[in-house]
Copies of this chain bind each other. A is one copy, B any other.
């Protein structure tokens, strides 16, 4: 979608894409308990302001499989506030909803915008992630409940894992035909095997097959390094896909990346709240405007403004000369503590200067310290003086060994 070749607005889908919102993360922490919900509100507000056709979520909407009552209530409050109201829906679902939502009770095998008793003007479509997957003998997830309440449209729930049938949501707007295939999180080894055994079937529309713009929303491990069968290689996917939206990986890659071999692009939205102290979580977070007209599209990342500031520093005390073989251990530890305190003050000052108006005040700060042959400082004791000034006082310091620039690659969550 070139900036200069403006499509007819009647043909243009505008979709707000986000993933891994992890609502309820840290909901027992007085400071951080609203972080995930605050950013969810920002995402919904952004969707509203940009008059998108719908919101498309890549799984892990909730952090816990059984969210607390308070998280459930706040989520529902936001959905009712932002997704209901007047203003028409300017596109149509032309696929068979009883197939797309075959996992639901009969009367809810439809989308909320088609329910005459609900006045929805911002529909939310979501697959589940590994954090909010169906469970128990009734195989229900929190998303099943939200769908039943009419607050979201929950798709991509495979009911037979021996025979995974993916029937796309087929949307039509003017001359644009948009097919959204979804597959909620499945244990990676299991899905890997299912692909190898040809147990995954994507049902392309029989009519005008080549005219559809094909999106696949998936929530699995993406990189190979987590284990030989513990991810979905992109080469397993269908070559006729246009865009894969890849949830679960919290590290944002805010531009679609072309897989030359397969011919499709992959957008990895990343998470909207940091659920670990890794590098990937420390980056600028985004939601995205996905614009599709005909078979052309464009992705516009929108920087999220409400995410708690997060700073990571790697410190190798040997390399910067604090640790010498002949030093007195106590004196050195004292020096080290002073040095790290100063470092903290500097980072807190930096956070104050850089903080944007909607960001919460207290930053997350992680110091990854290689203490060399000095005994590491106690993180709890070290953090005490930063209570109320940083959001994670008890876990500022992480003692690391011998990989001063070591990176934590475990960003899939």
Q: What separation, in Å, do the CA atoms of A148 and B149 have in the docked complex?
A: 10
A119 at the interface (CB under 8 A from B): yes
Chain B residue at minimal CB-CB distance from A116: B119
Interface size class of A (residues with CB under 8 A): 20 to 34
Q: What separation, in Å, do the CA atoms of A285 and B107 have in the docked complex?
A: 30
Q: Is the CB of B150 within 8 A of A80?
A: yes
Q: Which residues of B contact A66 (CB under 8 A)?
A: 69
Q: What separation, in Å, do the CA atoms of A70 and B148 have in the docked complex?
A: 11
**CB proximity to B under 8 Å, residues A61-91:** 66, 68-70, 72-73, 76-77, 80-81, 84-85
Contact with B along A143-155 (1 / 0, CB 8 A): 0110011110000
- Shortest beta-carbon distance, A256 to chain B, in Å? 35
Question: Quick one: given A77-B105, A150-B80, are A117 and B85 in contact (CB under 8 Å)?
Answer: yes
Q: What separation, in Å, do the CA atoms of A215 and B77 have in the docked complex?
A: 31
Q: Is the CB of B76 within 8 A of A145?
A: yes
A136 at the interface (CB under 8 A from B): yes
Q: Is the CB of B107 within 8 A of A73?
A: no
A1 at the interface (CB under 8 A from B): no
Q: Is the CB of B69 within 8 A of A145?
A: yes
Question: Quick one: given A77-B148, A148-B77, are A69 and B140 in contact (CB under 8 Å)?
Answer: yes
A118 at the interface (CB under 8 A from B): yes
Chain B residue at minimal CB-CB distance from A69: B140
Q: Which residues of B contact A105 (CB under 8 A)?
A: 73, 77
Q: What separation, in Å, do the CA atoms of A21 and B141 have in the docked complex?
A: 25
Q: Which residues of B contact A311 (CB under 8 A)?
A: none
Question: Quick one: given A77-B105, A77-B148, are A70 and B119 in contact (CB under 8 Å)?
Answer: no
Chain B residue at minimal CB-CB distance from A73: B148
Question: Quick one: given A80-B107, A81-B107, A119-B118, are A70 and B149 in contact (CB under 8 Å)?
Answer: no
**CB proximity to B under 8 Å, residues A92-143:** 105, 107-108, 116-120, 136, 138, 140, 142
Q: What separation, in Å, do the CA atoms of A78 and B107 have in the docked complex?
A: 10
Q: What separation, in Å, do the CA atoms of A76 and B117 have in the docked complex?
A: 14
Question: Quick one: given A69-B140, A81-B107, A136-B69, are A148 and B118 in contact (CB under 8 Å)?
Answer: no
- Shortest beta-carbon distance, A146 to chain B, in Å? 9
Q: What separation, in Å, do the CA atoms of A122 and B71 have in the docked complex?
A: 28
Q: Is the CB of A69 within 8 A of B118?
A: no
Q: Is the CB of A70 within 8 A of B117?
A: no
Q: Which residues of B contact A70 (CB under 8 A)?
A: 136, 138, 140
Q: Is the CB of B148 within 8 A of A117?
A: no
- Shortest beta-carbon distance, A45 to chain B, in Å? 15
Q: Which residues of B contact A72 (CB under 8 A)?
A: 145
- Shortest beta-carbon distance, A104 to chain B, in Å? 9
Q: Which residues of B contact A77 (CB under 8 A)?
A: 105, 107-108, 148
Q: Which residues of B contact A108 (CB under 8 A)?
A: 77, 80
Q: Which residues of B contact A142 (CB under 8 A)?
A: 69
Question: Quick one: given A116-B119, A117-B118, A151-B149, are A140 and B73 in contact (CB under 8 Å)?
Answer: yes
Chain B residue at minimal CB-CB distance from A76: B148
Contact with B along A174-216 (1 / 0, CB 8 A): 0000000000000000000000000000000000000000000
CB < 8 Å neighbour of A80 from B68, B69, B73, B148: B148
Q: Is the CB of A138 within 8 A of B69?
A: yes
Q: Can you list the 4 inter-chain pairs with the closest CB atoms, starting with the nearest? A: A117-B119, A84-B117, A70-B138, A149-B149
29 example contacts (A-B, Cβ-Cβ < 8 A) are as follows A66-B69, A69-B138, A69-B142, A69-B144, A69-B145, A70-B138, A72-B145, A73-B105, A73-B138, A73-B140, A73-B144, A73-B148, A76-B145, A77-B105, A77-B107, A77-B108, A77-B148, A80-B107, A80-B117, A80-B148, A80-B149, A81-B107, A84-B117, A116-B119, A117-B118, A117-B120, A118-B118, A119-B119, A149-B149
